[in-house]
Amino acid sequence: MRSRSRRSSGQNDALVLSLLKAADRPVSAYDIVDLASRSGTRLVANQVYRTIARLIGQRMVKRIETLNAYVSAGTGADLCLVCSRCRGVDLVEAPALIRSLRQSIMDARFDHAGGLVEVSGLCADCRPPGVGEPESESAQNAGFVRGSTH
């Protein structure tokens, strides 16, 4: 009978975290299995899910619910902008938004489980020309808001 060496939890954590940091996009657990396999390391989905859960608990990884994918939590980003066409992601720090949300959550006596605030839409590369451009200063001063029905 052949003896198999097993990686420790810490080794799995380091491996998964390095794969996430090297990825240029959010990746699913099965993407992580595939990336590990390409580098010559065998991982199974259950190992990845357990490892991801540990890393999320340590705040080293963030889950993007919309994509069912994960990113390294290398930044203090609170807001995740998800392009519904190309599935690109922009992680943004939004301290004023988070302060407001925390206050609303406390006011509602809601037990918040954590996570990123996600907004879906079209990124600059995917949206049609002229859509989503900043309002002119005169339109802003006049009180006009694009898409307003008032």
Tens digits of residue pLDDT in 50-71: 999 999 999 899 999 999 999 9
Q: The whole model's pTM is what?
A: 0.74
Distances (CA, A) of 102 to 65, 98, 113: 20, 6, 12
Statement: residue 34 has pLDDT above 90: yes
Percent of the chain with pLDDT over 70: 84
Please state the rounded mean pLDDT for residues 3-31: 88
Distances (CA, A) of 120 to 28, 53, 58: 18, 24, 26
The one-letter amino acid code at 111 reads D
- Top-tier CATH class for 9-125: mainly alpha
Q: In terms of C-beta density within 10 A (0-12 exposed, 13-18 middle, 19 or more buried), how is residue 125 classed?
A: exposed
Q: Which contacts (CB < 8 Å, 24+ apart) does range 40-47 have?
A: 41/15, 43/12, 43/15, 43/16, 47/12
- What's the maximum distance between 2 C-alpha atoms anywhere in the chain? 80
Neighbouring residues of 61: CB distance < 8 A, sequence distance ≥ 6: 16, 17, 20, 52, 55, 70, 71, 72, 73
- The rounded mean pLDDT for the chain is 83
Distances (CA, A) of 118 to 5, 65, 90, 101, 115: 40, 8, 10, 13, 9
Q: Between 109 and 146, whose confidence is greater? A: 109
Domain positions in the chain: 9-125
